[in-house]
Structure 1
């Protein structure tokens, strides 16, 4: 055999050695339907297309800031004399256990005003106490109006730390709640209402002697007295002053029948527009969990995509969808609670302050999605993540937050693209809530 033949045979053997395994793999792969040749997709990990977030009018009323309270809390001498006969005309004077002063008023009556001491011992026919407190929220960490809303809530839709079931009141200030309890903590009625950054709490309590037993004044008497004083205070502060307890048989705006999990609100196709090849995980909200609102639950989902193995290598994008869902604790309560929560968020961002460690800028009301919406940018907090674009909107009893951030190598993304990316996803989240 010639050298050329020997060489040729060697090359042929080498070719067969390299090709045969590949052919075998291709044949087996075809047979079992599992083999595909690796193929790199063209383009980056966030190629869109994106929707442009449309600016809208700010339909949330401007914040009203109360700086001065009315003399004697706005309660007339005639009303005070009727509710607490013989009470001190100067209700702001203070006493042994209270400082008094503007916005802190008390009228005390014992034995129809015949007893002239506050803490007398003996047998008396009755006792009546009318207290009015006006607190002006300053809002050092958030909007003064939002701070007042939290003060009114105090862990529930009503005055803080008061016994008795709350009842929503219409026609008194901007929002109001009333309670009655015969328990010694209250021993009467409490009415709380808000006007701007001012929270007014009116308590009317007392007892009547019933054969040697002290019997708390009836609910009707207690509520009528508290409403009478509250209406005069409200009128003196220039707000609605015709209180009526709300009776709701069924809500005017029903809550959503079913709310999906955050991870189920965005389709794979939409995720691919903003974070191609992302994996998903549970996540915490950026903004929507503050301020805290009783009766709401929070959940979030994040999709993260990255082309590099290490931080600051390649491209990275993170999409986060968070839902704050108001519960229907009483008929008709879910949508108002969600609305209240959204308005607190909206006012804080418009005011330029919000609880927590984040810094926000660029507040802009949007013309959708949902019933009302806004966009804002959260500044990066160091590390590998830059600014985040947020779109927040309300849909009936749900408040939604969509956040989007990313980087290209060492360059952290900033600007309008973050907002438009969040808005593109937010539009689909709204559709998921309509199903």
Structure 2
């Protein structure tokens, strides 16, 4: 009993530690959040196992029995949701229906579990326990099935390898877990299958470290890298979705907050199809950089003419995993400065605003105080007859359209 408790304790701590690591060091995405939930369910399952092998009183043993079977079923549900987010299949109607059916099944069994503790009382050969094991095993096989479909459809080598790792480790872990529960039960011991997913986690961790699992394209591009860039930067993944952008990019298109994680490229870049064709041609020619003059769709349906420098990002296997777009507004800044007779300092402030810098960043770049920057900014706005940065961008858009 104590040995089982120690093994389950190690498993519980491992799950909690891995979940925290993913949340702290991972990119803020739905996939990583779902993986953290998966770790939490595994920790709950293991905690129930620890309790049922330590406590002696019938009341507490019954409570930990219930907790154990709750964690065991919620772990499978969380695992299915995780693989759906990982493979970007969460919006497929069939999978959504399957998730609802599994939730209904879990609801029925957990009602029996918390109401009458039937699952524990039926262990190891009662109909409720046996059906729970069989249904849970079948449901857990949805994880490798979804991963297999994902691996067959993806064009990225690393994702094909990742899917194989998940398929093999999940099937192997499910078989081992079911056998261990039945064998331990017939020998008079409590089930301890909660420790088997540690092996599955080892496989997932290997995929994270070796193949960049859950590092959405552009892979290996840290958010902090673009956060402090002066130019507006958009990160675009292999499915032509904008996965991130910096403050300068948000200012350029008039978005006060960050874009959602999977904003389709065509919702921001009006010539996205032409850009995609250019990327395909570049890949065929073995090139990785090009420039494009076009328009961004800003807030309130307005457009911003920009010159964008694109850089293709490839992984170790030569697959395109992302695209970085560095945007600058397209207009003649010198002509604008001359037309409105701006002073040298006003022109400096204008240049930094155009580049998307905040007032604090401008102060640091020009080696002046923040108060001085605010004074010169107010002076610039008064000269132009405006009162805000958004009005300045609108004014510059008008200058570009006149050209």
Q: Give TM-score, length-normalised by structure 2.
A: 0.29
- Structure with higher Rg: it is 1
Structure having the higher strand fraction is: 1
Higher relative contact order (CA 8 A, sep 6+): 1
Structure having the higher helix fraction is: 2
